[in-house]
Amino acid sequence: MDEEFQAPQWIRDENDPTKEKSTGEPSHKQKIILTITLCVVFPLCVWAGWFEFGRAQNGNWRAWVYTFEWPLFAGIAIYLWRRLMHGDMPKIPKPDLEALAKEDEGK
């Protein structure tokens, strides 16, 4: 197979039976980074929502959208934090390299 259509190293490592499989659980360092990120993002989103609420009360009609949007972002941050802390890491789909190579040869 051409070098152009070889699987990336991370796919070859994932398919290698001799390599140890990851459990999907984040490491201790990753958990600390995720928690620190949440502790920064959540208060900022709540503060931004409060700030926009003040602007909306002063007559800025567009600020009403942001008043509800920022707390929604805070909720999304908590949702993602919980998913990632429990090891629900998103999986990158593996490309079918043979099918891509045949498709390219047909052109």
Average pLDDT value for residue range 19-48 = 87
Residue 52: count other Cβ atoms within 10 Å of its Cβ: 21
C-alpha to C-alpha distance for 60 and 53, rounded to whole angstroms: 9
pLDDT of residue 19: 59
Tokens, residue 75: 């909720």
Does a structural domain hold residue 52? Answer: yes
The residue written with tokens 């502790």 in the block is 39
Q: Say if 37 falls within a structural domain.
A: yes
Cut 0.75: pTM above it: no
Q: Are 73 and 45 in contact (CB under 8 A)?
A: yes
* 66 part of a folded domain: yes
Q: How many domains does the chain have?
A: 1
Q: Which tens digits make up the pLDDT trace of 47-98?
A: 999 999 999 999 999 999 999 999 999 999 999 999 999 888 777 777 777 7
Q: Which domain holds residue 69?
A: 26-87
Residue with more model confidence, 12 or 62: 62
Q: Which residues, including other chains, have CB under 8 Å from residue 3's CB and lie 6 or more apart?
A: none
Q: 45: how many CB neighbours lie within 10 A of its CB?
A: 20
Query: Does some domain include residue 101?
Result: no
